Structure 1
Amino acid sequence: MKSITMTMVGREDEQAELVAFVKSATGQALVLRGEAGVGKSSLLSSAAALAEQEGHVVLRAAGVEAESALPYAGLHQLVHPLLADIARLDDGTRAVFDAVFGGVQGDPPSVMTLGIAVLGLLALSAEQRSLLLVLDDGQWLDDSSADVCGFVGRRLAGGPVKLLVAVRTDITSRFDTAALPELPIAALADEDATRLLDHRYPDLGRQVRRLVLEQARGNPLALLELPAHVAGPSSDLPAEDLIGQHGVPLPRRLQRLFGARIAALDERVRAELLMAALDGAGSPSGADAVPGTRYGMRDADSAVAAGLLDVESATGAFVFRHPLVRSAVVQTATPNQRRTAHLTLAQVHRENLERRATHLAAATVDPDEDVADILEAAAASATRRGGALAAVTWLTRAAELSENHTDRSRRLADAAFVAAHAARLGQAHRLLRAGLAPGSTESPASVLAAAYQALYQDGDVRSTHRQVSAAIEKLRDGGSAEPKEVLTRLVILLLAISQYSGDRAVWESTHELLASLGSLVTERSRLFSRTWSDVTRHGADLAGLVLQAAANLPDLEPWEVTRFGTAAYHLDVLSHYRPHLQRVVDRELETGAVATGMVMLHQIMLDQMAVGEWAEAEDTGRRGLDLATEHGHQLFAAQSRAYLAQLAALRGQVGRARDLQAEVDAWARPRGLGFLTQVADSAGATAALSSGDYEAAYLYAIGITQPGTFRPYAYQASRTLLDLVEAAQHTGRVEQARAHALAARDAGLPLVSPRLELITYGALAMTAENEQEAAEMFARAESHPDAARFPFELARIRLAHGVRVRHVQGREPARQYLVPAAEAFERLGAAGWTERARAELRATGTPPRASALNLASLTWQERRIADLAAGGLTNKEIGERMHLSPRTVSSHLYRVFPKLGITARAALRDALSRAEEVSRV
């Protein structure tokens, strides 16, 4: 058998750069980019050989088109030789790999989480010898693996690991936007092309030589293969007929040349080549080293002799000489031959659900319920692992293989449902049209898809509520054969529409319809109908059920996670969901349910705002806004702006808050989106309170609900309790303030959520008619076990109580409440509230200082950024110096300003000087 040999002609510049790359003392990544056959694989092999001589451990892998839809298939083959080292990693990192590669059930990680785990594994494995990761045909790598490789490649600097990737220029891939350094591999110069041809074919005739050079255009593979074809069985034909083929791309011509050689092989050998090609085996890079995952070719020496295969010297395994050979093997096979090969491979991979499903989908022609069931199971597995796009493909194929129209429609409806959550609303509509029975005009599933589009793209709650309600009534009254899942999806969507409407009549219509369905409504749907509608009236004692669900989030589809997350937000227990949301959100935004990922960003932002991580909330909100705008989800874009308006109001950025509030209101109010107009009014009230405009704050607050009542189905009514009470007190409406606090108590708000319990006690303390009640209610608020989870509300309650104590008991007792309130406002970055708290402190005789905190409260990074900013550097310049993004620098400065008691960059230098003086006292 012939082993792989290689002769490099030309490429001096490219080889020199690769030598420098391999011998560099620091880790780095490099992408080789060029057309098929230009010599990328040869350059990779040359670099790998040099690395081995230098004492590196070389790990090789290759992307394969047949595996491009299998999540993490490429990553698995790349790191498989290192998996034995996983046992040396910590439990959390091991769990990440287990979740990805199927060891145990666990949360599917985000690209960042998995990338960090891979970096840890590589660092551990490279403790003794440096590593070189070599990835050929990166354009065929599955998206999940490519994203992780890009993440890792951008973070190798300074370590003992290098990554070398080759991709084709004519095929788009995730590496196109991976932001990794690139080395273009162009065709050989004329002189080098001539030298290569003369070296390999010194006796070539002048005419053929001229034609080969003309047609090859410097492509090394063409220079080596075209003359051999001319000298082959068809050499009696004119050379122009053999290799001219003007207008046909060179890679396709080469595939045709390989096809002629394949056709001359024995049928058994062709079958071996075909199974290897369809299974992604036989890569000329050592990529088949993962035991039991690829088909191994046997007895294929004749293919080696024909120049189609080589023998891997390290393993003795047959490998395709070039990816174009693999493509030619598949293209020259008949449909029946391909199906037979796929069927055999499905048996080979019977223990691997997703690989088995891939091959069965290609092997099956006639309807087959068993195969369709397997594809459905594979789709469910992919969805839980963040592969919603792959799930749509498998469900669509399962529908095609269904034995009856009912199952076909159901599976197409499932595919459309997943596509809609993956922000592919157009694809969802096409799938549902394909599932309509002859003569049908509309199905419940098509109503579902149309309503999704109308709601999320256009914010239409009026007509969508009518359409979805009518579809539910039709299923209820007509004894439809539609699966129960379709009804459940329609019910959930109706609840979402009702929530966005924020309208009492709409909600009452929804509850009436759900009551008529009886046992057809699931327990989960009933839980959502209570928590999403009006927690003041329906939310008591539901937090336990929502917290119980948080323990099983990895077992739920991503959209089901966000449904519980919405319930958790209304009940103020969202912090229990956030760890899971943060683990999976990036995964969903990249290859999974994109629309669901946007909802996850909203929920993460809301929890960040609640717990006082306001700089992080700003980043999350901007990211959500960018994604919603990019995907045309105008409702989500408006929702992001509404939350950003609330955040700006909290931080005292009054102008920005009002601009965003006006933008949201102008879009949402004409559409009847009460959910968003209430958020806008809430932002208006908070901004007015922050700037001391209490009359405006009161008007905004009573626009949400009147004093002494909590307007039904106005979910901001309970959340703005303190806003209305404070605004009423500061404008002399003491009776209204007291009535509202008592109404909160009488409505049972303390039984609904920990936050509502906290602010109810705070409101009662603020409006108490005697000092004993004020002290008792304040003590209940401050000692609440969850008070620290809501630092802004707690600081407001402390500030109000400190003001009351100063007027009644004197300055000294008030300080114990005012100092922690001022410090909390400063930490949060609530500029307006900070100034008010300082003014109250000054009234107690506390000497002025740069901040109630001192420089010790700044982290090292915050202090360094503050010093650089005080020296006049821009955020971009600071970022370049500290290896941070300008946005990260801005976020740090947002945290620094309130700690130093300033609101502008120009005040940094003086504030730092004053704070240093105070810290020395």
Structure 2
Amino acid sequence: MTEGNKVGWDSFGVPNENFRVDRVDLAASWSSDPVRSTRMADVIRDDAGLVGRDDELARLAAFTVEATTTGAALVLTGEAGVGKTSLLDAAVARAAGTVRVISASGSEYETDIGFATLHQLVVPLVDDLALLPRAMAEALEVALGLGVGPAPSRIAVFNAALALFSAAAERQPLLLVVDDLQFVDEASRAAAGFVGRRLRGRRIGLLGARRSESSPTVQSIGVPEEHIQPLDDRGAARLLSHRFAHLPSRVRLELAREAQGNPLALVEFAGSTDLSVPWTGADNPQTDSQSKDVRTLFAARIHALPARARDLLLVAALEGRGDLRTVEAASGPGTLLALAPAERDDLVSLTADGRTIRFRHPLVRTAVVETSTGLERCNAHQRLAGALTDDIERHADHLARATTRPDEAVAALLQKAAQRSLRRGDAAGAVTRLRRSADLSPDRTALRRRLSLAAYLAAWVEGQLQTSEEILRELRLTEESTTPGGAVAKGFVALITDGDADASHALAANAVRSLPATGASADEHDRALLTLTLASQYSGRPEHWRPLMEYVDSLPEAAPHEAASLARIHFAPGSVTEGILGALEDALGRLEDETDADVVVRTALAASYLDRLSACRRPVTRVIQDGRDGGAVGSSMPALMFVALDELHSARWSESAAAAAELITLSERTGYHVFRQVGHYISAMAAAHLGDLDACAEHSDLIRRWSAPRGLRRLEYCAHQASGRALVGAGEFEDAYAHLSAICTPGELPPFNPEAVWSAPDLVEAAIRTGRADEARSHAGALHESGIHRISPRFAIMTATATAMTSPEQTAAARFEDALAVPGADDHPFESGRARLAYGEHLRRLGRIREARAQLAAARDTFHELGAATWALRATAELRATGMTRTARGAVGTALTPQELEIARMAASGLSNPQIAARLVLSPRTVSTHLYRVFPKLGITSRAALRDALESAPGQ
């Protein structure tokens, strides 16, 4: 190095305050080289301002003020070389001194490492982790490889990162700058979007840049964007005249035309022009298309460097983060001296703290790699692997890239790294590493196991069916016959996508039988048994669940989230042991701290059958948010299902319908069609309670049309349950009985048929109201004998109400009182309201009018508050039958809706319900429901009173 450059560096390689001056001297000393001298002049003039970017700089200045006072986010987009990075640097320069700036950038060689870019943003704030609650700090430490512990959910990592940035901004406004978003790993990109959308009210700015031509999968992170246009003709001319005044005007015009306003192309083309060759436009050999390709120009400059400098640039490019210590560890002493030629030629620079190497542009990094040989890249990866032994994922990645033939040691290390990725909540990284591990597996059995696990994780956790199916195709090419692990993955995908329970059951059953002989792990066996359980569940057919339960009977009790316990719970919820219930309660107590999304989902699955979903609400909501922010989409769908079911059972039916609608949309988009049917079921049940009979029928019909041809009896039962609940509420008991008896024969509650349990009170009531008293008593007895009443208060109320409805007159009242006295009954208003309605009906038949009115009025008011329209109408009609003409509180005088008024007028004119329905394009059932609502509002009890009531009602 020259003496001037030695002045610019201290003995530790850190630039001193005179570094810029030394570079000017260096540029002057190279003035004999017109290419290098103009390029160095460009750097100096860049410090004074950007040509043609006054408007952009003004907007960035305003953004910085807004961001550091009230919080804001912005991403600059544009083609490569348009000046995005220069604008980011200008914004950072203007913010310096008053704002703390933390910069990061994506690397195309680290896109497989989850949270690699977030790591760059968090590490400078590592001392501030002590300001966070311990759980938050641990989530970040584990996700970023700074500590060990259970895998955090991505939403926990995102919240922790936001909390860390907020804590730092309390002392000084914070500007987070992320360049090259198109190369940022998916987990970090999701984190940036999460943080960027939540900055309002915080003194934090997020400023990013990405190429507009990048892949559609990395387009937007959900924050405002500004597209940076190429320079116009005037701006291009100004840039060239300021920086390359020595070039003839005709040459500058030709350069401007060729570069099409791209500043990087303008500078590189002009800097590479050799004036010793006469300029003749297209005829000049220096102006052909190849020489005007910026990457080619960078490649030529790289090729001219000393071999040692080229080697160091390659190591730095493949290292990805620009960490000088890692590059030095991989390259040996003398790194800074050897990099000097590349630094002088403005291909790289060092950050002010001397710790990070920055490439002038991502195209430089790309050119460095493209100009290297395969052997050179393998050697660089090998050295980087040796320098990163403390980071198992990066160590394994580099070692794998350095390995050109199957190697079990490397393959095993990659599988271990994949497990580490899963523990950090990076399912995508785990899948990628498992696939690489399979590629390097010399043993075909190990290869298939690794591919099988990757396919399963891609489908169940990551939610990437396309990736899973691609891996399964790879697996088929390696198999002489289907391996157990491959069979499980294929069976699982067949079930959740196509609803093929037969194929899924056959594949999983064969795997369960053959896995023990292969030395399979407990996890492999559990995945096979879970797939077999799910296939049996959706099928609902004895030929599927009987062999499953014969096998499960031979297994010991397991944790609630394990497949053996889930099979037992699915088989007969009312018969689960006290051991399983106690273990579930313990698991629910720990679930708040559980970071494994698969464990959360499986535990919630057990809780859904045992009426304990409310205890899972916060953990499953985290899983959902993680999926919304680009995390484990596969896990988020069952999590959405559990939230929707919790809302349904809690009588928050509008909220339940909203969650179910999101589940339907997500399932349609991802191809998980079984989950879509579950969404339709929950939507149908919510509509049934709200009295929207048409919506209930529509969702139920969709389920039946999809499920019946596939033999998915469980889903057909779901459709019948929803239809039966809606019809019982509307008082159409004969039709309700037809639906409900299709689920099970009265008096029987078959295994693997939870809908038979949940719809039992509906079938009992429908049987009573249609003169089938014996069937009703038999079914109420079966419900009690199932033991479901000991599982939860809600199930206890349901069982006690069914028993009371079928009890002899002399004991029925006491049984109804038992139902209403169940501890926690008030927490289940619909079930309590239903018990009161049945109790009031019983008392009215006995002539105990005053007592009947008390129960019926309470039921009516409960149903009104819940929005259970048809059930409220039933209670109101029963009250009228007691001679009580006062309608629901606040109902009389309530204005009719426009549709109610139109229907009421048509009915008053003598039209029948079918005639009204035909004119308004509604169903007769909907017309009937509207009229039930109209009567209480007008204070009447019959259709005949409509005309007079409408004439006397004000405003009607």
| Shared fold (TM-score, shorter chain, > 0.5) | yes
The residue matched to 1:66 in structure 2 has which SS?
Answer: coil
Cα deviation digits, residues 858-904 of structure 1 (max 9, x gap) = xxxxxxxxxxxxxxxxxxxxxxxxxxxxxxxxxxxxxxxxxxx9989
Question: For the aligned residues, what is the CA RMSD?
Answer: 4.0
Instruction: Give me the whole-angstrom Cα distance separating, in 1, the residues matched to 2:693 and 2:159.
Output: 39
Distance 1:624 1:270, change over 3 A: same
Alignment correspondent of 1:794: 832
Instruction: Give me the whole-angstrom Cα distance separating, in 2, the residues matched to 1:837 and 1:92.
Output: 50
> Scaled by the length of structure 1, what TM-score is found?
0.83
Alignment correspondent of 1:27: 71
Alignment correspondent of 2:501: 461
Task: Tell me the amino acid that sits aligned with residue 403 of structure 2.
Answer: T
Q: CA deviation at 1:184?
A: 1.5
The residue matched to 1:221 in structure 2 has which SS?
Answer: helix
Instruction: Give me the whole-angstrom Cα distance separating, in 2, the residues matched to 1:317 and 1:599.
Output: 44
Task: Find out whether 1:370 has 2:409 as its counterpart.
Answer: yes
Q: CA deviation at 1:269?
A: 3.0
The residue matched to 1:327 in structure 2 has which SS?
Answer: helix
Task: Find out whether 1:52 has 2:96 as its counterpart.
Answer: yes
- Asked if structure 1 preserves the Cα contact closer than 8 Å seen for 2:805 and 2:812, the reply is no
Instruction: Give me the whole-angstrom Cα distance separating, in 2, the residues matched to 1:394 and 1:51.
Output: 40
Residue among 272, 277, 286 paired with 2:317: 277
Task: Find out whether 1:612 has 2:651 as its counterpart.
Answer: yes
- Asked if structure 2 preserves the Cα contact closer than 8 Å seen for 1:651 and 1:830, the reply is yes
Residue among 729, 736, 758 paired with 1:690: 729
Residue among 10, 21, 24 paired with 2:52: 10
Instruction: Give me the whole-angstrom Cα distance separating, in 2, the residues matched to 1:374 and 1:294.
Output: 20
- Asked if structure 1 preserves the Cα contact closer than 8 Å seen for 2:744 and 2:756, the reply is yes
- Asked if structure 2 preserves the Cα contact closer than 8 Å seen for 1:138 and 1:173, the reply is no
Instruction: Give me the whole-angstrom Cα distance separating, in 1, the residues matched to 2:857 and 2:150.
Output: 45
* Percent identity of paired positions between Structure 1 and Structure 2: 35
Residue among 159, 172, 175 paired with 1:132: 175
The residue matched to 2:729 in structure 1 has which SS?
Answer: helix
Distance 1:747 1:372, change over 3 A: same
- Asked if structure 2 preserves the Cα contact closer than 8 Å seen for 1:488 and 1:521, the reply is no
Structure 2 unmatched ranges of 5 or more: 6-18, 21-42, 895-930, 938-956
The residue matched to 1:32 in structure 2 has which SS?
Answer: strand
Cα deviation digits, residues 292-318 of structure 1 (max 9, x gap) = 999996332222112212343465854
Task: Find out whether 1:180 has 2:223 as its counterpart.
Answer: yes
Task: Tell me the amino acid that sits aligned with residue 27 of structure 1.
Answer: G
Alignment correspondent of 2:601: 562
Cα deviation digits, residues 466-500 of structure 1 (max 9, x gap) = 44434555667xx4566665554333222211111
Q: CA deviation at 1:688?
A: 0.3
- Asked if structure 2 preserves the Cα contact closer than 8 Å seen for 1:725 and 1:738, the reply is yes
Cα deviation digits, residues 172-207 of structure 1 (max 9, x gap) = 266623343222111111222122122222222567
Residue among 274, 281, 301 paired with 1:261: 301
Instruction: Give me the whole-angstrom Cα distance separating, in 2, the residues matched to 1:319 and 1:401.
Output: 33
Q: CA deviation at 1:621?
A: 0.7
Task: Find out whether 1:828 has 2:853 as its counterpart.
Answer: no
- Asked if structure 2 preserves the Cα contact closer than 8 Å seen for 1:143 and 1:174, the reply is no
Q: After superposition, where does 1:530-541 map in structure 2 within 5 Å?
A: 530-536=568-574
Q: Which moved more, 1:838-847 or 1:413-422?
A: 838-847
Alignment correspondent of 2:918: none
Task: Tell me the amino acid that sits aligned with residue 766 of structure 1.
Answer: M
Q: CA deviation at 1:763?
A: 1.8
Q: CA deviation at 1:661?
A: 0.9
Task: Tell me the amino acid that sits aligned with residue 50 of structure 2.
Answer: M
The residue matched to 1:135 in structure 2 has which SS?
Answer: strand
Instruction: Give me the whole-angstrom Cα distance separating, in 2, the residues matched to 1:571 and 1:782.
Output: 21
Residue among 260, 264, 269 paired with 1:226: 269
Instruction: Give me the whole-angstrom Cα distance separating, in 2, the residues matched to 1:903 and 1:278.
Output: 71
Distance 1:16 1:500, change over 3 A: same
Task: Find out whether 1:420 has 2:463 as its counterpart.
Answer: no
- Asked if structure 1 preserves the Cα contact closer than 8 Å seen for 2:594 and 2:600, the reply is no
Instruction: Give me the whole-angstrom Cα distance separating, in 1, the residues matched to 2:330 and 2:866.
Output: 55
The residue matched to 2:114 in structure 1 has which SS?
Answer: coil
Residue among 616, 640, 644 paired with 1:601: 640
Q: After superposition, where does 1:79-118 map in structure 2 within 5 Å?
A: 79-90=122-133, 93-94=136-137, 96-98=139-141, 100-101=143-144, 103=147, 105=149, 108-111=152-155, 115-118=158-161
> Scaled by the length of structure 2, what TM-score is found?
0.80
Q: Which moved more, 1:528-537 or 1:429-438?
A: 429-438
Residue among 29, 39, 55 paired with 2:83: 39
The residue matched to 2:753 in structure 1 has which SS?
Answer: coil
Q: After superposition, where does 1:757-836 map in structure 2 within 5 Å?
A: 757-770=796-809, 774-775=813-814, 777-805=815-843, 810=848, 813=851, 817-818=855-856, 821-836=859-874
The residue matched to 2:102 in structure 1 has which SS?
Answer: strand
Q: After superposition, where does 1:262-341 map in structure 2 within 5 Å?
A: 262-282=302-322, 298-299=336-337, 300-313=339-352, 318-341=357-380
- Asked if structure 1 preserves the Cα contact closer than 8 Å seen for 2:485 and 2:524, the reply is yes
- Asked if structure 1 preserves the Cα contact closer than 8 Å seen for 2:689 and 2:729, the reply is yes
Distance 1:486 1:157, change over 3 A: closer
- Asked if structure 2 preserves the Cα contact closer than 8 Å seen for 1:745 and 1:760, the reply is yes
Q: After superposition, where does 1:539-688 map in structure 2 within 5 Å?
A: 542-550=580-588, 558-588=597-627, 591-688=630-727
Q: CA deviation at 1:805?
A: 4.7
Q: CA deviation at 1:114?
A: 5.0
Instruction: Give me the whole-angstrom Cα distance separating, in 2, the residues matched to 1:583 and 1:617.
Output: 17
Task: Find out whether 1:501 has 2:501 as its counterpart.
Answer: no
Distance 1:712 1:150, change over 3 A: closer
The residue matched to 2:798 in structure 1 has which SS?
Answer: helix
- Asked if structure 2 preserves the Cα contact closer than 8 Å seen for 1:65 and 1:140, the reply is yes
- Asked if structure 2 preserves the Cα contact closer than 8 Å seen for 1:539 and 1:571, the reply is no
Alignment correspondent of 2:197: 154
Instruction: Give me the whole-angstrom Cα distance separating, in 2, the residues matched to 1:902 and 1:67.
Output: 64
Q: After superposition, where does 1:204-215 map in structure 2 within 5 Å?
A: 204-205=247-248, 209-215=252-258
Residue among 372, 380, 386 paired with 1:347: 386
The residue matched to 1:319 in structure 2 has which SS?
Answer: strand
Instruction: Give me the whole-angstrom Cα distance separating, in 2, the residues matched to 1:173 and 1:64.
Output: 18
Residue among 548, 560, 563 paired with 1:525: 563
Q: Which moved more, 1:199-208 or 1:142-151?
A: 199-208
Distance 1:15 1:824, change over 3 A: same
- Asked if structure 1 preserves the Cα contact closer than 8 Å seen for 2:151 and 2:422, the reply is no
Distance 1:521 1:514, change over 3 A: farther
Task: Tell me the amino acid that sits aligned with residue 42 of structure 1.
Answer: S
Cα deviation digits, residues 397-433 of structure 1 (max 9, x gap) = 1112223222122112211222232444454344345
Distance 1:292 1:376, change over 3 A: farther
Distance 1:579 1:242, change over 3 A: farther
Instruction: Give me the whole-angstrom Cα distance separating, in 1, the residues matched to 2:139 and 2:890.
Output: 43
The residue matched to 2:231 in structure 1 has which SS?
Answer: coil
Task: Find out whether 1:411 has 2:430 as its counterpart.
Answer: no
Task: Find out whether 1:63 has 2:103 as its counterpart.
Answer: no
Q: CA deviation at 1:39?
A: 0.7
Task: Find out whether 1:511 has 2:559 as its counterpart.
Answer: no
Q: CA deviation at 1:365?
A: 2.6
- Asked if structure 1 preserves the Cα contact closer than 8 Å seen for 2:278 and 2:284, the reply is no
- Asked if structure 1 preserves the Cα contact closer than 8 Å seen for 2:648 and 2:682, the reply is no
Task: Find out whether 1:711 has 2:754 as its counterpart.
Answer: no
- Asked if structure 2 preserves the Cα contact closer than 8 Å seen for 1:531 and 1:539, the reply is no
Q: CA deviation at 1:729?
A: 2.8
The residue matched to 2:349 in structure 1 has which SS?
Answer: strand
Residues paired across the two proteins, number: 848
- Asked if structure 1 preserves the Cα contact closer than 8 Å seen for 2:254 and 2:281, the reply is no
- Asked if structure 1 preserves the Cα contact closer than 8 Å seen for 2:727 and 2:733, the reply is yes
